[in-house]
Amino acid sequence: MASDTKPDCLFCKIIRKEIPAEIVFEDDTVLAFRDIAPKAPTHVLVIPKRHVDRLSDTTRADEPLLGNLVAGVTEVARKLDLDDYRVVVNNGAGAGQVVFHIHVHLMAGRHFKWPAG
Ligand code: AMP
């Protein structure tokens, strides 16, 4: 799985355990860890173990990766006993993406406005 990572990617370094993170869930396909600057009382990032820059780089051929990613989100939510939660993917710098390795924000524990800002 490490061969699917990118050497200089921050989240790939977390996957390879080169930099620390508070991991809440891990399997062969995904890793979930607490956001270092949480925007909600619970804020977990769920990432695929294979490096892909952003959601819009995926195609139908990536259905297993995308399915595992969403299944990982629900697994984390169950594990943390979350009921109401918000799931966000920022795709591209204009949408707020800062780390270019696909990640799903799983946030809970406060009221969320709609539409999202
Ligand atoms: P985005 O803006 O969608 O790219 O989200 C990137 C997220 O990664 C932000 O919420 C950051 O707080 C978070 N982040 C950056 N570095 C780390 C790190 N070393 N460990 C955990 N979360 C991080």
Q: Is residue 115 part of a domain?
A: no
In contact, 49 and 5? CB cutoff 8 Å:
yes
Q: Is residue 113 part of a domain?
A: no
Q: Which two three-digit tokens encode residue 45?
A: 């990032």
Specify the number of domains making up the chain: 1
CATH code for the domain in which residue 83 is found: 3.30.428.10
Centroid of ligand 1 to alpha carbon of 65 (angstroms): 20
With a Cβ cut-off of 6 Å, ligand 1 is lined by 10, 21, 33, 35-37, 45, 90, 96-99
Closest atom, ligand 1, to C-alpha of 35 = 22
Rounded CA separation 9/85 (Å): 28
Q: Is residue 64 part of a domain?
A: yes
Tell me the pLDDT of the chain (117 aa) as tens digits: 567 999 999 999 999 999 999 999 999 999 999 999 999 999 999 999 999 999 999 999 999 999 999 999 999 999 999 999 999 999 999 999 999 999 999 999 999 999 998
Residue 67, domain extent: 2-108
Centroid of ligand 1 to alpha carbon of 99 (angstroms): 7
Q: Is residue 11 part of a domain?
A: yes
CA torsion, ordered 3, 100, 42, 95, to nearest 10 deg: -150
Rounded CA separation 22/32 (Å): 9
Q: Is residue 90 part of a domain?
A: yes
The residue whose CA is least distant from atom 12 of ligand 1 is 37
